[in-house]
Amino acid sequence: MKRFTHFIATPVLLGLVGLLIAAPHLTRPAAADDGHPLLSAAAQHARTRAGMPIVHATNAATPAAFVDADHTAFLPLVSGVNSAPRPTETPAAPHTPTSTLTPTATPTSTLTPTATSTPIAFAEVSDAVYQQSGDVITVTIPYSPCTRVSSSPILVGDFVVWGMYDQLSGCSSHSPHYTSLLGYHIRTGKLYRLAQSGSSEATLLHQPDNGLLFQNVVFGGNTVSALDTARFDKLYGVPQGFRATSDASGVYLNGLYYFGTINPPGDVCQNPVNANCGGVFALDASGALVHSLNLDDGFRSWIGAGLTSDGQFIYAGGAEQFLGDASSAYLYGCSVVKLDQQLNIVATFDPGVQGCHRSGVGQNDEDAVAGEVVIAGDGTLWVNFSHGVDDRNVYALYHLDANLAPICVFEGPSSLLMMTGYYQSPTVDKDGNVYVLISPNGVGGNGVGQLWKVTSNCQGTKLADLPQGGSSTPVLADDQRVLTISAGQIQIRTLAGDIVKSYGLASSANVIASPMIADGVIYVVDVTGALTVIHNSGLQGYGAAPWPRYRHDNAGSGVQPSTN
């Protein structure tokens, strides 16, 4: 067990993944109960990487098959896996508007959308509902009990873009938009379907220099697709027959797109063993995989944290290391790896129990790397884990040097439950302080989330409690504010945690995605796919913070060159 000098502070369960099935006859059978009083064996290992159940159901029966951008038919995954029981949340009534927004060609205020002289070549989302109350505009769309949007909005030209996602397990109906790529046009104030390119949990990546948008797909399309940003047509993707999907964001370096793959315990990855599960790969513009790190190299780790880069090296965080019916051999599971651009392992970091430590509650109770490895811009890194890394089961946030050697560790509350989510990351301000959200009662539940500030030498201060909060990443603004989300509201706080302003969101549904600030406007997407647009908040942008939001910036790049 690795132990380091540390400071100790005072003291969902997420489960399912939908898989792209290139061979439709492959399904994941339900497993028999293993004796756990609540969960089947399959349920204990499945992974629903998003938020609370949504109780309002809507239309759209599950299709027998759907077609990806290459017109290749894929069947939805049939699975007996169920999500673990979690505290139930009863969403409040949707945000009540005082007026209905009607986009107009003649602006009369800073809230009024402006006309565009260039026709928009995409279909409007016909069932979107637009409402306005003061400075807040909401756009809601139909969703189902299975809708679990975790894709953070990014900016692509005049569009605020995010991917939709519905889990497949146990769902008799789906949202009509669950394989859609949606875009809110900031000048017309309307919502468009940009593409029907697959169901995505990961935040997309915009590469503006080449006019590319990269989408990692869980099902309904190619594992990774590169779309052009003019018409959102697919240009290239991974080779057919790859048979492993991706639920975490990648990075783009020197003409290559790097991405990781999932590694669930089901037959698609384990029976027979699929070497492409739990690996890292580099895709070139011809659609060829030019570099790989997978089981053939002694590596097998569910890449559940988004890849990040300092412009030279790539940092990957992993989770389960299932190999067939076993998971005991150390294959870099639940560890951080530093990779060169040929995907050779340069350094590793695996605190606590070697490989994956489990808290013992079942389901996804392993100490997965959460969110992403955050690059502070000064030659150091920050990384936290979803669960405790050893039998003490305390939250741990590590400050590392560029070679993954520990500088110090902040330890927070103790819990057997997931304390930070798969799509949550620390954020770093201009002075090197880190802001994190910790949920001792479990991410996504009705319990209280905690906003903490941690200094560069790992001394922590709890700034605020967030009722029904803690699923989203805190966002830094203008070097003097931090944004948090809880109980159907977004709060603008001082760096000491005091609330300056708060705004109601489209509903009280959970928010996993990171808020985005663009040209002084705040955009928030909740798990139902509803968008909240906030004008005149007084905020301008992210200031000089080196890592102000999940995925670093409004392009979702995950790249922060080091100044050292």
User: What is the pLDDT, as a whole number, of residue 83?
Assistant: 27
Whole-angstrom distance, CA of residue 198 vs CA of residue 165? 8
Give the pLDDT confidence of 431-451 residue by residue, as tens digits. 999 999 999 988 876 678 999
Mean pLDDT of 526-554: 98
The burial class, CB within 10 Å (0-12 / 13-18 / 19+), for 519 is: exposed
CA distance 315 to 400: 12
Handedness of CA 422, 424, 430, 431 (dihedral sign): negative
Q: Are 418 and 358 in contact (CB under 8 A)?
A: no
Quickly count: other Cβ atoms within 10 Å of residue 398's Cβ. 24
What pLDDT sits at residue 41? 32
At 1 the pLDDT is: 36
Q: How confident is the model at residue 16 (pLDDT cuts 50, 70, 90)?
A: very low
- Dihedral of CA atoms 294, 299, 304, 305 in degrees, nearest 10, equals -100
The number of helices, as runs of H, and strands, as runs of E, in the chain is: 2, 37
Q: Give φ, ψ of 35 to 5 degrees.
A: 105, -15
Look at 14-18, 37-41, 462-466, 516-520 and tell me which has the smallest mean pLDDT: 37-41
Task: Write the pLDDT tens digit of every residue in 259-300.
Answer: 999 999 989 899 999 999 999 999 999 999 999 999 999 999
Domains parsed from the chain with CATH numbers? 6-95+188-469 (2.130.10)
Residue pair 273/295 in contact by the 8 Å Cβ criterion? yes
Number of residues that this document lists for the chain: 564
CA dihedral of residues 56, 60, 64, 68 (deg, nearest 10): -100
Is the pLDDT at 66 greater than 90, yes or no? no
- Asked whether the predicted pLDDT for residue 74 surpasses 70, the reply is no
For the chain, what percentages of helix, strand and coil (3-state, to nearest 5) are there? 5, 35, 65
Higher per-residue confidence, 342 vs 90: 342
| Contact indicator for 359, 416 with CB cutoff of 8 Å | yes
Q: For position 86, what pLDDT does the model report?
A: 28
* Rounded mean pLDDT, 462-470: 90
370-379: pLDDT as tens digits? 999 999 999 9
pLDDT greater than 60 at residue 556: yes
Instruction: Give the pLDDT band (50/70/90) at residue 361.
Output: confident
Which of 313, 359, 362 has its CA nearest to residue 339?
Answer: 313
Of the pLDDT bands very low, low, confident and very high (cuts 50, 70, 90), residue 30 is very low
- 194 in Cβ contact with 159 (< 8 Å): yes
Residue 3's pLDDT is what? 30
Instruction: List pLDDT tens digits, range 136-169.
Output: 999 999 999 999 999 999 999 999 999 999 987 7
User: What phi and psi values does residue 550 have, to the nearest 5 degrees?
Assistant: -55, 135
Does residue 19 register a pLDDT over 60?
no
**Which range, of 5-9, 207-211, 495-499, averages the lowest pLDDT?**
5-9
pTM: 0.82
Give pLDDT, residue 112: 54
Continuous H helices in 144-242: none
The pLDDT of residue 522 is 99
Question: Chain-centre distance of CA 502, in angstroms?
Answer: 24
* Mean confidence (pLDDT) of the chain: 82
Output the 3-class SS for 315-365: EEECCCCCECCECCCCCCCCCEEEECCCCCEEEEECCECCCCCECCCCCCC
- pLDDT of res. 13: 32
pLDDT at position 447 is 73
Q: How confident is the model at residue 337 (pLDDT cuts 50, 70, 90)?
A: very high
